[in-house]
Structure 1
C-alpha cells in the first residue's frame, strides 16, 4: 500500500474517536511545482495526521490550470482516491477526496509536503513543515546558573556571568541555551549533522571528545534562527540525555 493510500485508510476507516484534528485557515497558501504555482487558496485546512504537527490539505477547486490531475484510482475500501498531479514533465502523488464523501475533507487534496518545490503562507516560505497554530515557543532571559558535565568533566559552565536563555516550547521540557563564552571549547568539535525546525530554523551540531571517547551531536545551535527565535542566535543547547546538566545546582531529569 502506498503512503497516501495508507494515510487514506487511517483517516477514513478509523472510528470517530480517532479521527484527526482538522482546522481551517484563512491564510493565503500557495504551492510551487516544476517552477510553477499549482494552487492558490485561502481555504486550506490544517490536518494533524501524525499527532505531532499539521499538514495542509488544499481544495481541489483552487488548483490552477497549470496542473493536470491523472486518472483517479480508488483506494480499496474507501471512496477517496490516489492520483498524480503533473506540471509539464514533472509529477507527484496526491490523495483526492471526492465532493460526495461524508467528511470535512470532501473536495480536498493532500500532497506530501516534501514533494513540492516550495510552499508559501502569504509571502513567507514554509520551511520543514507547516507550523502548528497551537504550538508556542517562548524565549526568556534567565539568571539561572547552568553547568554541563560529561563523565564528570565540565564542558560548559555559565558561572557568575549568566547570559542564559531559557526556551519553553509546547510539549517539551525547558531548554537552556548557553552563551559561547561558557563553553569549554577544547572538548567540542563541529559535527556534519543538520536538522530543521519551522519555529527556530536550521540547527548545526557539535560532538564532544572526553577522555578519548566521542559523544556524537551532544549540542546544537542556530547560526541563522528564525526571526521569532532570534534571541538564541549562536548559543549552544546540550542534549539532556547525553550529558549531566545542573541548573542552580540541581540535576535536571534526563
Structure 2
C-alpha cells in the first residue's frame, strides 16, 4: 500500500526531481477505458522539462493493462526507469507509462502526456474539467485583465491593429500578451490556417497567417473562440506573438522578447 503524503510543499530527490502531492482528482482514459483514477496524484518536475507531470499510486492505475515495454527508450526521463506499453484495446501504445527511479516516488507510475498529443491516453481530467497538453502548474498564474492601454501592432511596416480596449494576459514566465477586439484588427490582411494548439490554462486556439509582403513567420495571430472560464475575458479577441511583431504600448515600442516560442517562429 502506497503512503500518500499530505503536506503541500515541494520536495527534492537526489536525482534532481522536484515533486509535490496534489489534492486534485485526476483521471485518464484511453477510448472508453479508464486507465487512471486517482485522488492522490503527485506532481513531478524533471530538470529538462518546463512543465510538471503526474505520477500516480500504483493501486490507482489499471496495471493489468500494462506490459513491460518491448522497446524502451533511453534518456527520455531523469534517471533509469522501467517503461510499460499500454494494452487497452486496439493497437498497443508503446512506452505510454514509466516509473521514476527515486525512492520518494516508489510505488508510483507516470504517464506520457507533455508533447505527446497524438499518443498515450486520449483524455485527462482534473475533477470534471478536461485538461490538455500537460498538468497545470500550481505555482503558475494566468490572469486576463481588461485594460485601457493604447496598443498598436505592426507587421512588415504595416499597422495591423490599434486599440484602446485590450485585455492583457499575464502568464508566469511568459511576456504579457495583448488581446485585441476583432474590430480593431486588420483581419483582411490575414488568412486562417489549419494550425491549432491547446493550452491547459486557456483552452484551444485557432490561427491566422500574414498574407502581405515581407518575410513574416506563419501563424503569428491567434484567438480562443471558447476559452476556459478562468480567462473568459479573451473570448473572441486576437493576440500576436510579441516575438515576431512590432508592438507599441502607450507610445513605447517594446523589445521583441526571446521565449521558448522564438525558435519555432520562422518565415
TM-score by length of 2: 0.77
1:106 alignment counterpart: 106
Matched, 1:209 2:207: no
SS at structure 2 position matched to 1:246: strand
Matched, 1:39 2:36: yes
1:29-108 to 2 correspondence within 5 Å? 29-49=26-46, 50-64=48-62, 67-71=64-68, 80-88=81-89, 90-92=91-93, 93=95, 94-96=97-99, 103-108=103-108
C-alpha distance in structure 2 between counterparts of 1:71 and 1:154, whole Å: 57
- Which of 107, 118, 124 matches 2:123? 118
SS at structure 2 position matched to 1:216: coil
1:117-156 to 2 correspondence within 5 Å? 117-156=122-161
2:116 alignment counterpart: none
Structure 2 gap ranges (5+): 1-12, 114-118, 257-267
2:192 alignment counterpart: 190
1:232/1:34 CA distance change after superposition, 3 Å: closer
C-alpha distance in structure 2 between counterparts of 1:79 and 1:217, whole Å: 38
- The more displaced of 31-40 and 131-140 is 31-40
SS at structure 1 position matched to 2:124: strand
1:79/1:240 CA distance change after superposition, 3 Å: closer
1:79/1:157 CA distance change after superposition, 3 Å: closer
C-alpha distance in structure 2 between counterparts of 1:34 and 1:229, whole Å: 29
C-alpha distance in structure 2 between counterparts of 1:79 and 1:193, whole Å: 36
User: Contact between 1:35 and 1:117, CA under 8 Å: does it hold in 2?
Assistant: no
1:229 deviates by 1.0
C-alpha distance in structure 1 between counterparts of 2:58 and 2:121, whole Å: 16
Q: Which runs of 4+ in 1 moved over 4 A?
A: 71-76, 212-215
Structure 1 gap ranges (5+): 1-14
C-alpha distance in structure 2 between counterparts of 1:102 and 1:215, whole Å: 42
Higher-strand-fraction structure: 1
1:146 deviates by 0.8
SS at structure 1 position matched to 2:149: coil
Matched, 1:168 2:173: no
1:247/1:115 CA distance change after superposition, 3 Å: same
C-alpha distance in structure 2 between counterparts of 1:219 and 1:71, whole Å: 44
User: Contact between 2:156 and 2:216, CA under 8 Å: does it hold in 1?
Assistant: no
SS at structure 2 position matched to 1:104: helix
C-alpha distance in structure 1 between counterparts of 2:68 and 2:107, whole Å: 16
C-alpha distance in structure 2 between counterparts of 1:204 and 1:71, whole Å: 39
- The more displaced of 180-189 and 134-143 is 180-189
SS at structure 2 position matched to 1:56: strand
1:25 alignment counterpart: 22
* C-alpha RMSD over aligned residues: 2.6
User: Contact between 1:33 and 1:117, CA under 8 Å: does it hold in 2?
Assistant: yes
